[in-house]
Structure 1
Amino acid sequence: MPIVSVGLGLPANLPQISILSLLTMSRFGPNGWRVWHARRNSEMLAGLALRILLRKRLKLIFTSASQRNHSQYTRWLISRMDAVLATSDKSASYLKCQPHIISHGIDTVEFSPTDDKRAVRSALGLPIGGKLIGCFGRIRSNKGTDLFISTAINLCRRHADLNAVVLGQAIGSNKAFLHALEQRVRTAGLEDRIFFRERVPFAAIADMYRALDLYVAPQRWEGFGLTPIEAMACGVPVVAADVGTFRSQIVHGETGFIVAPGSASKITDAVEVLLLDHKQRAEFALSARAHVQINFDIQKEAEALVQIYRRLMTQ
């Protein structure tokens, strides 16, 4: 099925059309209906404008990943959609309609294990020896970055062979939050063992996971959250807070551990268990990879979406 994306800052290799071309495209697709798939309020509104004001023959879909009550405005937009999707049962429970539930997936070829962590770390400029834990994503309080730093400081003090890396950006007011975390690391005298990376090339993201021995997802709140799946696909066990859909992603005691949210001590204890038990960590790594391949391969998500697209286009 021909599918293109539209938006700002999209990767160059992604099939896409310009925003301007939306205004000038024919009202009818090659086979009649087209599908407009939105993820945000602005995108739902744009789809409605294209259909109502410019008379484009569109079927409108919205995917909701959030786990919170929607505003009246959002509920109105959702009510105008031809189909509504949710990424989990939890997300579905906040919707007033009965959505299709389709979990997100990832490319398990791109996100795959390595046989040589030392070489990967060397290429990324990370410490080659010892153990490495990581936390990736936006740097802000609700992502729990401070909980990870507390864990990293405590465990680095107890384990001389441990290093830690934070990968992510702080935007706007969260820059002060990041600076405070960096200062905590300097005060602890661990700036040569706890690293902050603002960004890496898109192609190197999978390598950042491969470099790790253990991934930590310390969020206080999360809508869906892909990072644990990406880590597990790379053969990296995960310790995650019980938020978002993490409990449905991680098999507790087989691919990682789920802990109470908001607790640095709980995260620290769970991480230390796996750091000290190489055999269990290796078993978790194998189970994690297999679990993602079976349950979270992006091909399953794509096939489910295309089925819905085809159904709408023939109605």
Structure 2
Amino acid sequence: MNILFIHQNFPGQFKNLAPALAARGDNCVALTLRVKKPMDWKGVRILPYQITRKPGDGVHPWLVDLNTKLHRGEACMMAAMQLKASGFTPDVIVAHPGWGESLFLRDIWPEARIGLYYELFYQANAADSGFDPEFARADDAMAAQRIRMKNVNNHLHLPLGDMGICPTDFQASSFPKAFRDRISVIHDGIDTEVAKPNPDVVFELPDGGQVTRKDQVITFVNRNLEPYRGFHVFMRALPQILRESPDAHVLIVGGEERSYGPAAPDGRTWKAIFTEEVRPQIPDADWARVQFLGKLPYDRFLSLLQVSSAHVYLTYPFVLSWSLLEAMSCGAAIVASDTAPVREVIAHGETGRLVDFFDTKALAKEIRTVLEDPQLRSELGRHARSHVVANYDLTTIALPKQLHWIDSLKKSPAGSAEPWDFKT
């Protein structure tokens, strides 16, 4: 089978699926902005495309997002036309439509079956919009109109995709019924044989020290340190955390760019802003126990999760991070926000501890409870790992479902595929 992957940051969510298809003998090609020259990766031929047209001036602010997606869609279409001219005809196209790249692929290959990775449908009156009033936008009085325009890309993709896939029930539930009728909920998968407990782990610290499972280690992970993932809440809880847990090391992972939500004002970073806010409340001796690790290579990241005594995960009602499930798979005791995407994987008192997203005192209290009760910590970690192995394991659960989804997509008539019931 010829399979074409479309993702601006390939492999992205297809990092396990694409190599698995190539390994079983399918001819896999990917179009992406991520590379500058053609390359091979785990049996997948990766081809670049480039955006050459510059966006025009005078675009309405609500159209900037769609305008950017149109430029990507056009550029990807031009690359697809060249690929077609070279003799490649995909049986199946698997695309993440979030950046608009797949908008015109049906025009190039009308007979191909198209599967779309649906991540989130934006809503003005629910989920993440308006969740945190501290960071309200100046134009929030027009949020419904602005967000409606942001969803134009989703609506344009609805008639293009034969089937959809979405990693969690929470994310799938954000879509209108017309989308949900085509969506199968299948997680990307966690390699639980790689992300697993290691009682002998040693994590080297930037200051030359090291921590092991015998130490009290509080971990906090964001792709980028920002409010959407609760960085401000965690930082505001730090003075109490450090005061009440005098032996604990606090290790914070994340970059200083922007992934979601508003950028920090005045060209600053959220890390700088909230460090400046809480630093006067923290004595130097306590602050010395806080270390910002930046972005870590994956092996170091897993060692961090393996050494964690209390892993803190906070998020708006938004896309669930892989890092939470990876921490659970590593057997970490989780203290997390009581928000909808988290409740899908964490049962309070069983696979973790849940606290109100905004309650810094409750957060510090739960962390202290976990740190001071080794038996509780062990039980939470063991149950968390068992839950991930049983429901999100890459090899036994997620990948077989994804491959079945691909095969059912291939067999279905273009434009009329029904979602596969993978829960039966």
> TM-score scaled to structure 2, two decimals?
0.66
Distance 1:289 1:195 in 2: 26
Per the alignment, do residues 67 and 283 of structure 1 end up closer, same or farther by CA in structure 2, a change over 3 Å counting? Answer: farther
1:160 match: secondary structure: coil
Q: State the shift of 1:143 in Å.
A: 1.1
Larger mean Cα displacement after TM superposition, 100-109 or 6-15: 6-15
Q: State the shift of 1:89 in Å.
A: 2.4
Structure 1 partner of 2:191: 107
Per the alignment, do residues 204 and 64 of structure 1 end up closer, same or farther by CA in structure 2, a change over 3 Å counting? Answer: same
Q: State the shift of 1:191 in Å.
A: 2.9
Distance 2:96 2:219 in 1: 28
Per the alignment, do residues 231 and 222 of structure 1 end up closer, same or farther by CA in structure 2, a change over 3 Å counting? Answer: same
Given candidates 286, 295, 305, the residue that maps to 2:402 is 305
Aligned length in residues: 310
Does 2:48 match 1:19? yes
What is the CA RMSD across the aligned residues, in angstroms?
A: 2.8
Distance 1:112 1:12 in 2: 29
Structure 2 letter corresponding to 1:76: L
Q: State the shift of 1:23 in Å.
A: 4.1
Per the alignment, do residues 196 and 146 of structure 1 end up closer, same or farther by CA in structure 2, a change over 3 Å counting? Answer: same
Distance 2:208 2:358 in 1: 31
Per the alignment, do residues 29 and 245 of structure 1 end up closer, same or farther by CA in structure 2, a change over 3 Å counting? Answer: farther
Q: After TM superposition, list the pairs within 5 Å mapping 1:129-168 onto structure 2.
A: 130-137=215-222, 138-168=224-254
Distance 1:146 1:12 in 2: 41
Which of structures 1 and 2 has the bigger CA Rg? 2
1:249 match: secondary structure: coil
Distance 1:64 1:27 in 2: 29
Q: State the shift of 1:22 in Å.
A: 4.3
Structure 2 letter corresponding to 1:310: D
Distance 1:294 1:264 in 2: 32
Given candidates 350, 360, 368, the residue that maps to 1:254 is 350
Does 2:97 match 1:40? yes
Distance 1:252 1:262 in 2: 17
Structure 2 partner of 1:116: 200
Q: State the shift of 1:79 in Å.
A: 3.1
Structure 1 partner of 2:133: none
Distance 1:152 1:79 in 2: 48
After superposition, the C-alpha distances for 1:198-233 in whole angstroms (9 at most, x for unaligned) are: 112233221121121111012234222222211011
Contact 1:108/1:293, CA 8 A, preserved across alignment: yes
Q: State the shift of 1:120 in Å.
A: 2.8
Structure 1 partner of 2:73: none
Distance 2:242 2:342 in 1: 26
1:166 match: secondary structure: strand
Distance 1:124 1:25 in 2: 50
Per the alignment, do residues 151 and 92 of structure 1 end up closer, same or farther by CA in structure 2, a change over 3 Å counting? Answer: same
Larger mean Cα displacement after TM superposition, 165-174 or 11-20: 11-20
Name stretches of at least 5 consecutive residues in structure 2 with no aligned partner: 1-20, 23-27, 50-78, 124-147, 413-424
Q: After TM superposition, list the pairs within 5 Å mapping 1:1-315 onto structure 2.
A: 1-2=21-22, 3-9=28-34, 14=42, 15-20=44-49, 22-26=80-84, 33-42=90-99, 45-52=100-107, 54-55=108-109, 57-66=111-120, 68-69=122-123, 71-96=151-176, 97=178, 98=181, 99-117=183-201, 119-121=202-204, 125=208, 127-128=210-211, 130-137=215-222, 138-171=224-257, 173-174=263-264, 175-184=268-277, 186-187=279-280, 188=282, 189=284, 190-299=286-395, 300-315=397-412
Per the alignment, do residues 41 and 280 of structure 1 end up closer, same or farther by CA in structure 2, a change over 3 Å counting? Answer: closer
Q: State the shift of 1:244 in Å.
A: 4.4
Structure 1 letter corresponding to 2:95: A
Contact 1:166/1:196, CA 8 A, preserved across alignment: yes
Residue identity over aligned pairs, in percent, reads 19
Larger mean Cα displacement after TM superposition, 148-157 or 226-235: 148-157
Structure 2 letter corresponding to 1:17: I
Contact 1:121/1:211, CA 8 A, preserved across alignment: no
Contact 2:333/2:377, CA 8 A, preserved across alignment: yes
Contact 2:172/2:185, CA 8 A, preserved across alignment: yes
Q: State the shift of 1:297 in Å.
A: 0.8
Contact 2:233/2:357, CA 8 A, preserved across alignment: no
